[in-house]
C-alpha cells in the first residue's frame, strides 16, 4: 500500500476546507491490525447436522483517522478497510462465523472485504460522525468476536456540552455482519427495518458513580429502554469493588414485523479487584413471553454474555462466577488467565417449559513484551457448553487467535 496516498488525499481536503495542514494531516493516525483465527467446534449431541465446524482464517483491518480542520467547526474524514482470507475450510465444516458462504453451494468463500468512509464534524464538545460506524452503545454494540469487526452505517452524535453529561443521538440504517461483505438493512430475527433510532445519555455523579439511560426504536419491530448504573468503590491500595447494574425493557412496535416481543432483562456484575486478581459474580433475570431482542449484527449488552452463549432465552435466569489473574505479579508480564462458569435455568420455548444450560470458558493470553515481536498477542480460548431439560445442544470448542497491530504513523 502506498503510504503517501492517505496524506495526499488529506492535503486536498485541507485545501478544500482552507485549513492548516498541521491539524488535518499532522494530527492524523493510521494503524494496521492482523488477526489469524482458528476455530474448532465439536458438536457432541447425536443427530447434529454436521459433526464439527472447523475453519482457519487470516484477517487484515486498516484504520485511518484524520485530524480536524481549523475554525469554530472542524471537519475530518476517517477510513477503514477489512479483508478476510480463507486458509482452511470446507462445505462440511463451515458455520463458525469466520467466513461467509454461498446460499446455494454452502461453500465458504475464499475472501471477503469491506471499505468504509466516515465524515466527521466537531463543534465545541459535540462530535457528529456520518458513514461507517462501530458504536459501543448498550442498544447497538458492534461485534468483534470473530475475524473482522462488524460495522453499521448511519449518523452518530455525541455531545458533552453540559458538565458530567454525555448525550448520544443516532440513526443507524444499515449493517455489515462480522462475516459479510455487504451492507444490508438493519434487522432483527431476519426481519428488516428502515432504521434504528437511539437517544440517551450518561451522567457522572462524581468520580465513582455513573447513571445511564438510553432509548432505542427499531422501526416496526421493537422499542427498548435501557437504564444502568456503574459504581467503583475504592477499598484501599490495589483493592476495589466495581458494580455494573443494567435493566432493559423491550416491546414490539408499529407493524411488529418480528412478532410479539415482551421482555424485561435485569442483570449485573460485581467485580472485586485484589492486586493481580479479580473475582466476579454476575446475574441475569429475564421475564416476559419472549427472548431478549438484539439486532442481528450486534452484541447483547448483558452481564452473562460469554464466549459462545449470551443466556438471553425467554424467562431465563442465570448466574456467573469468574476469576482472572495477571501473572505480572509473579514476574511474567504479559501473561493473563481467565476462567468462568455460567448456569442458566427456567428457560421457556415453544416445546420446553423448564430448560437449562451451562457454559465453562478458559482464556490464556500472552502479549510479547520486547524484541522484534513486541506487542504480538497470542490467545487460546476453550469452551464447553451443554444444555438439558428439553434442550439438546452440546459442544466443545477451541479458538486460537494471533493478533498484531502496526502503527503506520
| 175-193 confidence digits (pLDDT tens) | 999 999 889 999 999 999 9
What is the distance between the alpha carbons of residues 8 and 72, in angstroms, rounded to a whole number? 24
- SS3 state of residue 164: coil
Query: Where is average pLDDT lowest: 5-9, 119-123, 127-131, 383-387?
Result: 5-9
Q: Is the pLDDT of residue 18 over 80?
A: no
215 burial class (0-12, 13-18, 19+ CB within 10 angstroms)?
middle
DSSP assignment string, 264-285:
EEEEEEEEEEETTEEEEEEEEE
Nearest to 367 by CA among 329, 323, 322, 401: 401
pLDDT number for residue 380: 98
Across 22-35, average pLDDT: 89
Domain ranges of the chain: 304-409
Cell numbers standing for residue 135: 458504536
Residue-wise pLDDT tens digits, 237-283 = 989 999 999 999 999 999 999 999 999 999 999 999 999 999 999 99
DSSP code of 298? B
The Cα–Cα gap between 140 and 214 comes to 11
Q: Give CA angle at 146 (67, 88), nearest 5°.
A: 120
Q: Cell numbers for 370, please give them.
A: 520486547
Between 390 and 14, whose confidence is greater? 390
Q: Show the cell assigned to 91.
A: 462445505
Q: Residue 167: name the closest of 210, 214, 226, 134 by CA.
A: 214
How far apart CA 248 and CA 227 sit, in angstroms, is 7
Residue with cell 466527521: 120
| Cβ count near 370 (within 10 Å) | 9
Burial bucket for residue 343 (CB in 10 Å: 0-12, 13-18, 19+): middle
For residue 46, what pLDDT is reported? 79
Q: Are 303 and 244 in contact (CB under 8 A)?
A: yes
Output the pLDDT for position 223: 98
Cell of 96: 463458525
CB environment 55-85: b (16+ within 10 A), e (fewer): bbbbbbbbbbbbbbbbeeebbbbbbbebbbb
H/E element, 24: helix 21-24
pLDDT tens track for 277-324: 999 999 999 999 999 999 999 999 999 999 999 999 999 999 999 999
Average pLDDT, the chain: 93
Q: Dihedral of CA 291/297/301/304: which sign? A: positive
Residue 13's pLDDT band (boundaries 50, 70, 90)?
very low
Distance (Å, whole) CA 62 – CA 48: 38
**268-292 CB burial, b ≥16 within 10 A, e <16:** bbbbebeeeebebebbbbbebebbb
Q: How confident is the model at residue 22, as a pLDDT?
A: 53
Radius of gyration in angstroms for the set of CA atoms belonging to the chain, rounded to a whole number: 22
Question: What pLDDT is recorded for position 307?
Answer: 97
308: which 3 cell numbers? 459462545
Question: Does the pLDDT of residue 226 top 80, yes or no?
Answer: yes
What is residue 389's predicted lDDT score, i.e. its pLDDT?
87
Closest CA relative to residue 34, chosen from 13, 17, 58, 14: 58
What confidence category does residue 207 fall into, taking pLDDT thresholds of 50, 70 and 90?
very high
Q: Is the pLDDT of residue 10 over 60?
A: no
Q: Can you tell me the mean pLDDT for 130-147?
A: 97
d(CA 147, CA 199): 30
Amino acid at each position: 500500500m502506498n503510504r503517501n496516498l492517505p496524506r495526499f488525499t488529506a492535503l486536498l481536503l485541507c485545501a478544500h476546507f482552507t485549513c492548516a495542514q498541521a491539524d488535518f494531516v499532522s494530527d492524523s493516525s493510521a494503524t494496521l491490525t492482523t488477526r489469524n483465527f482458528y476455530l474448532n467446534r465439536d458438536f457432541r449431541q447425536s443427530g447434529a447436522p454436521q459433526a464439527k465446524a472447523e475453519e482457519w482464517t487470516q484477517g487484515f483491518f486498516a484504520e485511518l483517522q484524520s485530524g480536524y480542520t481549523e475554525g469554530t467547526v472542524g471537519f475530518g474524514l476517517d477510513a477503514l478497510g477489512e479483508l478476510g482470507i480463507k486458509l482452511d475450510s470446507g462445505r462440511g465444516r463451515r458455520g463458525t462465523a469466520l467466513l461467509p458462504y454461498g446460499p446455494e453451494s454452502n461453500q465458504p468463500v475464499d475472501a471477503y472485504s469491506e471499505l468504509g468512509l466516515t465524515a466527521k464534524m466537531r463543534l465545541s464538545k459535540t462530535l457528529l460522525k456520518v458513514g461507517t460506524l462501530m458504536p459501543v452503545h448498550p442498544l447497538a454494540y458492534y461485534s468483534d468476536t470473530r475475524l473482522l469487526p462488524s460495522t453499521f452505517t448511519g449518523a452518530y452524535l455525541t455531545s458533552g456540552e453540559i458538565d458530567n453529561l454525555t448525550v448520544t443521538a443516532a440513526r443507524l440504517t444499515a449493517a455489515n455482519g462480522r462475516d459479510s461483505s455487504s451492507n444490508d438493512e438493519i434487522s432483527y430475527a431476519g426481519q428488516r427495518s428502515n432504521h434504528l433510532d437511539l437517544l440517551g445519555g450518561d451522567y457522572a455523579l462524581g468520580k465513582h458513580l455513573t447513571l445511564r439511560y438510553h432509548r432505542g426504536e427499531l422501526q416496526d419491530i421493537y422499542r427498548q429502554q435501557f437504564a444502568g448504573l456503574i459504581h467503583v468503590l475504592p477499598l484501599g491500595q490495589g483493592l476495589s469493588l466495581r458494580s455494573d447494574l443494567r435493566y432493559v425493557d423491550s416491546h414490539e412496535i408499529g407493524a411488529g414485523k418480528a412478532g410479539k416481543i415482551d421482555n424485561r432483562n435485569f442483570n449485573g456484575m460485581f467485580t472485586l479487584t485484589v492486586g493481580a486478581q479479580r473475582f466476579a459474580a454476575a446475574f441475569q433475570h429475564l421475564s416476559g413471553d419472549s427472548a431478549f431482542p438484539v439486532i442481528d449484527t450486534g452484541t447483547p449488552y448483558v452481564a452473562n454474555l460469554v464466549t459462545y452463549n449470551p443466556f438471553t432465552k425467554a424467562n431465563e435466569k442465570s448466574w456467573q462466577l469468574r476469576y482472572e489473574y495477571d501473572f505480572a505479579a509473579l514476574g511474567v508480564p504479559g501473561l493473563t488467565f481467565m476462567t468462568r462458569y455460567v448456569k442458566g435455568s427456567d428457560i421457556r420455548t415453544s416445546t420446553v417449559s423448564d430448560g437449562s444450560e451451562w457454559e465453562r470458558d478458559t482464556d490464556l493470553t500472552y502479549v510479547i513484551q520486547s524484541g522484534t515481536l513486541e506487542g504480538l498477542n497470542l490467545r487460546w480460548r476453550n469452551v464447553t457448553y451443554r444444555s438439558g431439560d428439553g434442550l439438546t445442544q452440546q459442544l466443545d470448542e477451541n479458538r486460537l487467535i494471533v493478533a498484531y497491530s502496526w502503527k503506520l504513523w
